[in-house]
């Protein structure tokens, strides 16, 4: 039975006032969810509350932020008595899930049948199911919830989180309505056994006495719009206990020191003045920007503690030679005259802005360009804020692609089925696994289109993108298995992603410890798939943006070690983009961003 005792009262932070058992931190990538979740978990533990910190992000960096090796098992944090942490590793979860399904039939069924089941369980859908299975266990495991006063969830960026929080209801409804007998038989054989757990997870999420959702945001217009959409979508599935945390606000005193700081402060204040109506009624906290990187226990204590806390870090002088600009990278990209350009990286590093700037500049040079996104929380249209000749814009909408795929399958496989057979096929196509196939097909169409024009793709944050690449790899393995030693020539989307003549991958990062470490990990994952990133882009750099504001100067000085690490340890080619005084929204500002060249 879950303990219903309230947490510490009278906190200066509204989201921490009498906290319930489950606290979820969610929001757009790069707004500080992980830092705030970690700081909250430390705060609760140091108040004498047994606390478990859990990351559900496929690209978790909780261990990096805490500066402790964590992983897939519950790990006590020695520096904070009463605190433990867990990073749900989707791949490890998938391996354990496959073992639970396949283990009992290995040696019982023929090898060919076992191999078929294993192949069926090799895709990204099974990875998602396995991670989801562990997530629901954390909400419903009586022993676990009895042991901890609080479980703090650091979630993936918004789109992926909404998908995760919708899954208990989606799978429960699918199981209640029955299933077909096609692609999801293997995964669902395990899911059906967990029906009661999923129903209990839905109940826990919807109970405000058990669950509180903290929407984390920066004072940026696009971010606040997305948070407002998130609030509505999560309220629609029963998560009504919501709070708003406005993170990283520049103190007004900084605005007096120079034009850049004043412009940044005015930009934040304008965004707050235009706060969407649906957010105004939420209990809200404002958290000031810190001059130090939020890595390590001491820094995290400073986030919610004394604002004067200083964390010692080593600053590095600027290098003698400047890094290339975005314009210089575009010069090289334009030489190919067509191809797929993928911008990848952690949420909140500016992939959408840079993708739009690249696309606008290539279109201005006379090339046909298709700008698109796979991010469920995309805002390309808001970033462009206008049309451009030679540039088309789209997004991979999972719902629209799923419906397109359903109709395609019903028109082909369902054409000659009787009423009963068609009903079974339709039921099978209602599985959430169908979305994986549909999105992969849309991605494959874009890869083919890049053979005749530039396709610039703003990808979802790292974890979600890796799931899409996992589906691409599974398809490649299946085609290779079917063709075998026949000698037939074939080309799969994965092979096109591996070909640098057809695909250029730009890893986008910020000059900060956590984004750089995550970008390096993404590069390692890509290389294991045989994909070599073409370049790195260091975005929103204060180090090359002149400022006299003390807080900003301290942050700028701490960028150089990360910039040098990218330059000398990680990237084959790299560009550096300054932090702009005005938000780069609209075609003219995007043109200006793409035109800046190294002095």
**Catalytic machinery residues:** 30, 32-35, 57, 514
Question: HEC states along 472-489?
Answer: HHHHHHHHHHHHCCCCCC
Residues with Cβ within 8 Å of residue 298, at least 6 apart in sequence: 309, 311
From CA 181, how far away is CA 426, in angstroms rounded? 11
Whether the CB-CB separation of 65 and 38 falls below 8 Å is answered with yes
Comparing CA positions, the residue from 459, 456, 442 lying closest to residue 338 is 456
Comparing CA positions, the residue from 476, 525, 477 lying closest to residue 505 is 525
From CA 589, how far away is CA 579, in angstroms rounded? 13
Q: How many CA atoms lie within 13 A of 204 on its CB side?
A: 27
Structure token pair of residue 225: 């719009």
From CA 514, how far away is CA 293, in angstroms rounded? 9
Residue 275: DSSP 8-state: -
CB burial class (10 A; 0-12, 13-18, 19+) of residue 471? buried
Beta-sheet pairing, 75-76 with 83-87: antiparallel
Angle subtended at Cα 516 by Cα 542 and Cα 535, rounded to the nearest 5 degrees:
90
Q: Is 458 helix (H, G, I), strand (E, B) or coil?
A: strand
In the chain, count H helices and then E strands.
25, 15
Q: Is 23 helix (H, G, I), strand (E, B) or coil?
A: strand
541 φ, ψ to 5°?
Answer: -85, 120
* Backbone Cα Rg of the chain: 24
From CA 151, how far away is CA 22, in angstroms rounded? 5
């Amino acid at each position: 039975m879950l303990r219903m005792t309230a947490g510490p009262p009278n906190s200066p932070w509204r989201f921490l006032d009498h906290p319930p058992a489950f606290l979820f931190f969610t929001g757009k990538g790069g707004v500080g969810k992980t830092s705030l979740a970690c700081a909250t978990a430390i705060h609760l533990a140091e108040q004498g509350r047994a606390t478990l910190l859990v990351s559900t992000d496929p690209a978790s960096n909780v261990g990096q932020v805490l500066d402790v090796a964590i992983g897939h098992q519950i790990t006590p944090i020695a520096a904070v008595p009463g605190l433990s942490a867990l990073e749900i590793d989707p791949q490890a979860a998938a391996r354990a899930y496959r073992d639970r399904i396949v283990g009992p039939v290995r040696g019982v069924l023929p090898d060919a049948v076992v191999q078929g089941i294993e192949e069926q369980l090799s895709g990204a859908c099974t990875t998602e199911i396995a991670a989801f299975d562990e997530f629901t266990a954390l909400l419903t495991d009586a022993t676990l919830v009895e042991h901890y006063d609080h479980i703090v969830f650091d979630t993936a960026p918004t789109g992926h989180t909404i998908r995760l929080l919708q899954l208990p209801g989606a799978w429960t409804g699918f199981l209640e309505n029955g299933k077909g007998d096609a692609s999801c038989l293997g995964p669902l054989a395990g899911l059906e056994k967990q029906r009661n757990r999923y129903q209990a997870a839905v109940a826990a999420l919807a109970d405000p006495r058990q669950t509180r959702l903290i929407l984390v945001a920066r004072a940026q217009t696009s971010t606040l719009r997305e948070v407002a959409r998130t609030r509505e979508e999560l309220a629609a599935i029963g998560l009504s206990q919501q709070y708003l945390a406005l993170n990283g606000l520049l103190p007004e005193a900084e605005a007096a020191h120079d034009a850049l700081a004043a412009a940044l402060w005015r930009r934040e204040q304008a965004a707050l003045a235009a706060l969407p109506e649906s957010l105004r009624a939420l209990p809200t906290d404002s958290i000031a920007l810190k001059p130090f990187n939020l890595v390590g226990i001491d820094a995290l204590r400073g986030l919610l503690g004394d604002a004067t806390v200083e964390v010692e870090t080593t600053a590095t002088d600027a290098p003698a030679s400047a890094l290339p600009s975005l314009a210089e990278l575009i010069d090289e990209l334009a030489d190919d005259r067509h191809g797929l350009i993928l911008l990848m990286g952690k949420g909140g590093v500016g992939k959408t802005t840079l993708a739009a700037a690249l696309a606008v500049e290539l279109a201005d040079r006379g090339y046909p360009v298709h700008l698109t996104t796979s991010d469920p929380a995309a805002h390309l249209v808001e970033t462009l804020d206008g049309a451009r000749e030679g540039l088309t814009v789209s997004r991979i909408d999972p719902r629209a692609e799923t419906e397109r795929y359903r109709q395609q399958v019903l028109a082909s496989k369902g054409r000659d089925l009787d009423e009963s057979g068609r009903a079974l096929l339709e039921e099978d196509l209602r599985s959430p696994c169908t979305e994986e196939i549909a999105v992969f097909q849309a991605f494959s169409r874009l890869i083919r289109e890049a053979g005749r024009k530039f396709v610039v793709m703003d990808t979802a944050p790292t974890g979600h993108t890796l799931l899409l690449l996992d589906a691409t790899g599974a398809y490649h393995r299946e085609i290779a298995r079917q063709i075998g030693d026949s000698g037939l020539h074939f080309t799969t989307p994965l092979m096109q992603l591996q070909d640098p003549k057809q695909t250029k991958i730009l890893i986008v990062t910020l000059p900060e410890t956590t984004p750089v470490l995550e970008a390096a990990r993404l590069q390692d994952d890509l290389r294991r798939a045989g994909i070599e990133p073409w370049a790195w882009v260091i975005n929103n750099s204060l180090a090359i943006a002149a400022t006299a504001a003390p807080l900003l100067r301290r942050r700028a000085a701490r960028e150089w070690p990360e910039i040098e690490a990218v330059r000398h340890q990680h990237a084959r080619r790299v560009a550096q983009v300054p932090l702009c005084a005005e938000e780069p929204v609209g075609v003219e500002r995007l043109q200006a961003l793409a035109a800046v060249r190294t002095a």
